[in-house]
Amino acid sequence: MKDMMPNFNLVQPSDVESAANILAEAGENGWAMAGGQDSLDWFKDRIKRPTTVVDLSGIEALTGIREMADGGVEIGAMTTLTDVENNAVIKEKFGLLASAEARVASPQIRNKGTLGGNISQDARCWYYRSGIDCYRAGGTTCYADTPEGMNREHCLFGASRCVAVSPSDTAIALTSLDASMVIQNSSGETVVAAADYFIGPAIDIENMTILKPGDILTAIRIPATWAGADFYFEKIADRNTWDFALVNIATAMKMNGNIIEDIRITCGAVECVPKRLNVVEDIVRGSERNEDTANLGAGAAARGAVPLNYNHFKIPLMENLVRKALRG
């Protein structure tokens, strides 16, 4: 029966340590809930059946935006998308993230949804979300990757049994900003780079991040490395609001006159993880920012892509977004 949640114990701790201990005790049957925008859908569809749900919304330490000594910022994982988008320091130093936040879903969802929840959300493949026993759900078939499969929104790179893509707009911005994620569990605290936080199906087909049962994402740290850089963000979707990307792009660029001194360029919705375009970065770094450089970078953007039956259009779309980002 749809739209009826299974029974579970709801726990609302006031500190991270208590939440971590409760989740550790619950193990595979525990669920950490942030804004609830995605969690409640899983519960109503009865696809996820945790016995213990830990509501993190009452933990004050998980919210807020703090400037760090090195000029970077630390953002509590439970900080709402709206608060991040409107923060003066974020807009001044790290406008790439503010631009990405502004394109997430709708204003109502951004008012409730959290940064930590957005980057940690599960795959959006409709086969998986419908409760079908695909590889990601523990089965033996990827129904999107079949001759009859509907895979218009699925991946160009990194397929390994599963062809779902990373659905987060903010994840690609944080990857381009060289952010790191702070994770806490009952054993202590760990800090990992954004590039290591997101994982593909070849590593763990049932998870899109390195979070394990008992782990809590507590904060996101952005170093000062790219503060005030030349940023570019664009998202192409079927609708301008309340929709996921067909392809999106986040670029941070340091200029020396008209020379591209350094660059980070990341695409989303083309792989299960945010796709760093390292080849494009290597090609354009040290070059003059002009049409020739933009065309050269765009030509290498989709190198190695393996399109599915219905998503060939993503290749020229990705190339054009790279061209626009390099042009500025």
Q: Give 104-113 pLDDT, tens digit per residue.
A: 999 999 999 9
- Tell me what pLDDT residue 286 has: 98
Residues 204-228: what's their mean pLDDT?
97
- Tell me what pLDDT residue 241 has: 86
pLDDT of residue 94 exceeding 80, the answer is yes
Q: What is the pTM of this model?
A: 0.96
Q: 46 versus 61: which is more confidently predicted?
A: 61
Which stretches within the chain are classed as H helix?
16-26, 39-44, 81-86, 88-93, 95-102, 107-112, 115-120, 126-129, 169-176, 194-197, 278-284, 291-301, 314-327
Please report, rounded to a whole number, the percentage of residues in the chain having pLDDT higher than 70: 99
The reply to whether 143 falls in a domain is no
The reply to whether 4 falls in a domain is no
Type of residue at 97? L
pLDDT tens-digit profile of 198-209?
999 999 999 999
Query: Tell me, what CATH number does 303's domain have?
Result: 3.30.390.50
pLDDT of residue 243 exceeding 80, the answer is yes
Among the listed residues 58, 52, 106, the one whose alpha carbon sits nearest the alpha carbon of residue 82 = 106
pLDDT of residue 319 exceeding 80, the answer is yes
| Domain containing residue 76 | 61-120+176-225
pLDDT of residue 2 exceeding 70, the answer is no
Q: 3 versus 24: which is more confidently predicted?
A: 24
What CA–CA distance (Å, rounded) separates 81 from 219? 13
The reply to whether 145 falls in a domain is no
- Tell me what pLDDT residue 163 has: 98
**In a shared domain, residues 65 and 100:** yes
Mean pLDDT score across all residues of the chain: 96
The residues that bridge with 162 in the sheet, in sequence order, are: 160
Query: Tell me, what CATH number does 13's domain have?
Result: 3.30.43.10
pLDDT of residue 1 exceeding 60, the answer is no
What CA–CA distance (Å, rounded) separates 54 from 49? 13
The reply to whether 184 falls in a domain is yes
**In a shared domain, residues 102 and 206:** yes
Residues 189-218: what's their mean pLDDT?
96
- Tell me what pLDDT residue 170 has: 98
- Tell me what pLDDT residue 6 has: 86
Please report, rounded to a whole number, the percentage of residues in the chain having pLDDT higher than 90: 94
